[in-house]
Amino acid sequence: MNPLLYPVILPVLAGFLCLFLPRRARGAVKGVAVAASAGCLVLTTLLLLNKPLLWETGGMLILRLDSLSGFILPACAFFTVIIIVYSLRFMDGKANLKQYYAYILWTLGAASGVILANNTLVLLVFWGILGMTLYLLIELGGPAASPAAKKTLIIVGGSDALMLMGLAIVWTSTGATGMDKISISATSGWTITAFVFLALAAFAKAGAMPMHTWIPESAETAPLPVVAYLPASLDKLLGIYLLVRVSMDMFKIAPNSGLSVFLMLAGAVTVIAAVMMALIQHDQKKLLSYHAVSQVGYMVLGIGTGIPVGIAGGLFHMLNHAIYKCCLFLTAGDVEYRTGTTDLDRLGGLARYMPVTFVCCLIAALSISGIPPFNGFFSKWMIYQGIVEAGKTGEGFASRLWVLWLIAAMFGSALTLASFMKLIHATYLGQPNSRAGTRKICEVPATMWLPPAILALLCVVFGIFAYAVPLKWFIMPAVPGESFPGFWSPGIATAMIVIGIAIGALIYLVGNVGRFRVDEPCIGGETLPAESRITGVNFYNTIMEIGLLKWTYKRAGNKVFDLYEQGKRLTFLLSNSFSRMHSGLLPVYLAWCFLGAMLLLFIIARAAR
Amino acid sequence: MTALLFYVQASVAAAIIGLITSWYDRKLTARIQWRVGPPFLQPFFDFLKLLGKETIVPAAASRTTFIFAPLFGLASVGVVAAILMKQAFYPGTSFVGDLIVVIYFLAMPPAATIIGGFASGNPLASTGASREMKLILAYELPFILAIITAIIKTGTIEIGQIVSFQAANGSLALSLSGALALAVGFICMQAKLGFVPFDMAEAETEIMAGTFIEYSGPLLAALKLTKFMMFTVMPCFLITLFMGGFSSGIIPGLLKYIVLVTLVVLVKNTNPRLRIDQAVRFFWGPVTGIAIAAIVLAFCGY
């Protein structure tokens, strides 16, 4: 058997094994899940080292492992391992444990299939399976998750239809189903339609606007590891993989072309609108899920530039996002595990009780806000360069739009920082919630803090050693011909920060900080009642009140901008008008039949003449 | 290794210049208010005095974060000082990072202050820190726009190349768009430094120094030092970006610096404090408008 089949078949078989094990054998189920995912990680890493690999059958190239799919494949397996290890404790005692691990493993198998597929039909089939496992996994959240699961199925499944259309158009115009044989210059109306359809399918998977609304909805109710697994990490890898495959290999997107502007507009709107929504959220999971949308905007922006450094930045950001967003969701899970809530109003002051979780969350939050020298900054910096470079190519109006994209991206990162400051304050710092009884709270068990700790460590390593590790091994081979017009040496900067902190510590030593005195906080001689605690939830309400923003927020709150809700309204409008005709009155039905018969007769009579 | 040595030198230099600048600020403020003002070494004594004071940590604080947050701000402002000083002494070279890196590093000291304020567990500090964050959101938009104007004019994001461009083609501030961008940058600098009319995050008379309320002794010394270094670094940043940098010699460079600092102190002493919502409206309204005008003019070649 061709080695490329293993990463697809192994997890699927393991998933069935989990399903068919007796219910009492919980330990065995967990063992199978851990072993299968870890085996997949090792296997895919070996495949990466032996790229390129091909699997041909019946004269067609079905599976292919090149530089692009090569690094995404082990990344998927890696996140599966992280999530399964985390779930060992978190999902303990939850119902449907066997199904849970089976679905997770099937997702990995299908994801490997999507990434390896070279034949568009194979891609489509695996893509459909992924939609199904996503639905099943969200559905595990219980009855409360049902509406969200349905919404997800409709949006993701609907986008499958778009993808089918897009691939069909590609097939009719090129006659090829192998992605390696497709190379279209998107100039005619049909090919542009095909590209837009495929891009929308990728958007729905990754969660870019306007196809994003299933992510915040499902984040609230689905089991937390599922959210950390799919919308936060794996779906980003897959959606952005498809977008890169489509816009780099199948179509050639030139800088400042119409399609490039389409992508970048979608990206810029996603960045700003989603982060503005994140700013006002009251729930940790929901806040994070809006960031899971917002960050996709950066990736789309980077890929939309059509400049190698921008595309590489988009890909790197995809990888980084999966790392820190997964980490953030897992820390949110830690908090939920210990306090039983993710409501920002009811948390506070947890940093003292859960130090490891806090540090992981802080590092990931700084990464996502683009604070140097962490990984989020590096990929954003590459995307900015792509945007600036795209502005230098070509003439005319389109080549000046880069200013807009750059502002959206850079200002978006300030807004990201703001909303994470709110999260950090409300959850870990600030005043503890005296009613929640924080005394009982302590650090989570090792299988729950280790996964986020590994991810946080990766945030640091991928930031400081970006050139030496991720770029060299993963990104550069996938996107050839990139050059950096800017300049950034994270290693030296980090060394400087370390030395700066050492000098600062020297100042502290001189000042004898170690012998500090603990005292009550000074509130100007007043005593604050315990319930007047500042949680940070309302930090940005003053911003919400400003002119146009107030109008927009109000409408966003009513889901006016939700494509799904609008579609639902339209569907019900249509179906209601039809159902109104079903009045149950026999004379009315007879009248319809009579009218129909008349019409038929008229047409036949005309034709016969 | 030389880079790290340079960093230490630049940080120390920025700290000393910052302390001197703060003396100049206090002296000028005193003269405006018909007072005599402090002697030259007063800021140095104040700094040393703080080192000798007792450190008090609030009971509700997240201690480690509370104590170490100021150091991150101090360390990162030093990085910016090193990058800018490299351009002053060796114009046109690439060192540590480009313009985007500097923008992000300039956002780190306020972020560190915010985290420190949050960690203190004091509601007034939380209030102050949240205002600081909103202020960052307010000024960051026009600030980025002003910097983009410089990118449009020079066509590069490398600080070294921006300096060389100005050495060859004259300062950006001499063009209409450059002058507007400099004006926007100046207003944003006032906010970044947390000076009146944008000192709502500290607002001594209202929330008792806000973010700084629980800080004392050496911790406060580190925070103050960060502020003084920012007071040096920010004008130098604007000079490097818009006013031709320091390559034209010591005396013109010093003059540019003194002019900018004097303007900051004058604005600070002749304005009342704004509310935070007024500040946000101000920055997202007129200031952003001016910045957009600068960008349009830059595209038109003015």
| pLDDT tens-digit readout, A463-473 | 888 888 887 88
Return the H-helix or E-strand segment holding A56: strand A53-57
Distances (CA, A) of B111 to A226, A281, B60: 32, 21, 21
Residue A140 lies in a domain: yes
State the Cα–Cα distance between residues B46 and A576, nearest whole angstrom: 77
State the Cα–Cα distance between residues B23 and B4, nearest whole angstrom: 29
State the Cα–Cα distance between residues A23 and A99, nearest whole angstrom: 10
* Helices of type H across B59-122: 63-89, 99-119
* Cβ separation B50–A425 shorter than 8 A: no
3-state secondary structure of A2: coil
pLDDT in the model for residue B23? 92
| CA nearest to B1 within chain A | A492
* Claim to verify: residue A171 and residue A264 sit in the same structural domain: no
3-state secondary structure of A485: coil
| CA nearest to B4 within chain A | A496
Top mean-pLDDT range of A173-182, A207-216, A282-291, A423-432: A282-291
Residue A451 lies in a domain: yes
State the Cα–Cα distance between residues A201 and A155, nearest whole angstrom: 9
* Cβ separation B51–A410 shorter than 8 A: no
pLDDT in the model for residue B262? 92
pLDDT in the model for residue A594? 92
Top mean-pLDDT range of A273-277, B85-89, B242-246: A273-277
* Cβ separation B57–A489 shorter than 8 A: no
A205 in Cβ contact with A156 (< 8 Å): yes
pLDDT in the model for residue B264? 92
pLDDT in the model for residue B21? 92
* Claim to verify: residue A260 and residue A188 sit in the same structural domain: no
- Indicate the burial class of A523 (C-beta count within 10 angstroms; 0-12, 13-18, 19 or more): middle
Place of tokens 């909805």: A217
Residue A541 has pLDDT above 80, yes or no: no
A88 in Cβ contact with A33 (< 8 Å): no
Beta bridge partners of A251: A184
pLDDT in the model for residue A142? 82
* Cβ separation A503–B103 shorter than 8 A: no
* Claim to verify: residue A341 and residue A403 sit in the same structural domain: yes
State the Cα–Cα distance between residues B18 and B221, nearest whole angstrom: 13
* Claim to verify: residue A199 and residue A270 sit in the same structural domain: no
Residue A451: cis peptide before it, omega within 30 degrees of 0: no
Question: Predicted confidence band at A530 (pLDDT cuts at 50, 70, 90)?
Answer: low
Q: How many CB atoms lie within 10 A of CB A188?
A: 11
pLDDT in the model for residue A435? 61
Residue A518 per-residue DSSP state: E
Q: Which of A349, A372, A545 sits opposite B101 (nearest CB)?
A: A372
* Claim to verify: residue A87 and residue A217 sit in the same structural domain: yes
pLDDT in the model for residue B290? 92
Return the H-helix or E-strand segment holding A57: strand A53-57
* Claim to verify: residue A105 and residue A186 sit in the same structural domain: yes
Top mean-pLDDT range of A344-348, B18-22, B204-208: B18-22
Question: Predicted confidence band at A176 (pLDDT cuts at 50, 70, 90)?
Answer: confident
* Claim to verify: residue A154 and residue A35 sit in the same structural domain: yes
How, if at all, do strands A517-519 and B56-58 pair?
A: parallel
* Cβ separation B68–A501 shorter than 8 A: yes
Domain that holds residue B276: 2-300
Residue A436 has pLDDT above 60, yes or no: no
Residue B202 has pLDDT above 60, yes or no: yes
Residue A514 lies in a domain: no
* Cβ separation A414–B65 shorter than 8 A: no
Q: Give Cα B11 to chain centroid, integer Å.
A: 14
- Which residues of chain A have a CB within 8 Å of the CB of B11? 500, 503
Task: State which of A455, A482, A509 marks the end of a domain.
Answer: A482
Residue A209 lies in a domain: yes
pLDDT in tens, B150-165: 888 888 888 888 888 8
Task: State which of A457, A482, A507 marks the end of a domain.
Answer: A482
* Claim to verify: residue A192 and residue A257 sit in the same structural domain: no
State the Cα–Cα distance between residues B178 and B174, nearest whole angstrom: 7
* Claim to verify: residue A276 and residue A209 sit in the same structural domain: no
Task: State which of A467, A482, A497 marks the end of a domain.
Answer: A482
Residue A551 lies in a domain: no
Structure tokens at A330: 């897992």
| CA nearest to B9 within chain A | A500
Top mean-pLDDT range of A46-50, A374-378, A501-505, A528-532: A374-378
Residue A497 lies in a domain: no
A493 Cβ under 8 Å from any chain B Cβ: yes
Residue A117 lies in a domain: yes
* Claim to verify: residue A11 and residue A48 sit in the same structural domain: yes
Residue B273 per-residue DSSP state: P
Interface of A with B in 179-198 (CB under 8 A): none
* Claim to verify: residue A133 and residue A268 sit in the same structural domain: no
* Cβ separation B52–A511 shorter than 8 A: yes
Count of structural domains within chain B: 1
Residue A402 has pLDDT above 90, yes or no: no
pLDDT in the model for residue A254? 79
pLDDT in the model for residue A364? 92
State the Cα–Cα distance between residues A217 and A153, nearest whole angstrom: 12
pLDDT in the model for residue B194? 84
3-state secondary structure of B243: coil
Average of per-residue pLDDT across A404-433: 86
Enter the pTM of the model.
Answer: 0.89
Count of structural domains within chain A: 3
Domain that holds residue A296: 253-482
* Claim to verify: residue A143 and residue A269 sit in the same structural domain: no
* Cβ separation A493–B129 shorter than 8 A: no
- Residue A509 distance to chain B (closest CA, Å): 9
pLDDT in the model for residue B143? 92
Q: How many CB atoms lie within 10 A of CB A201?
A: 28
pLDDT in the model for residue A531? 61
Residue A597 has pLDDT above 90, yes or no: yes
pLDDT in the model for residue A348? 75
Residue A477 lies in a domain: yes
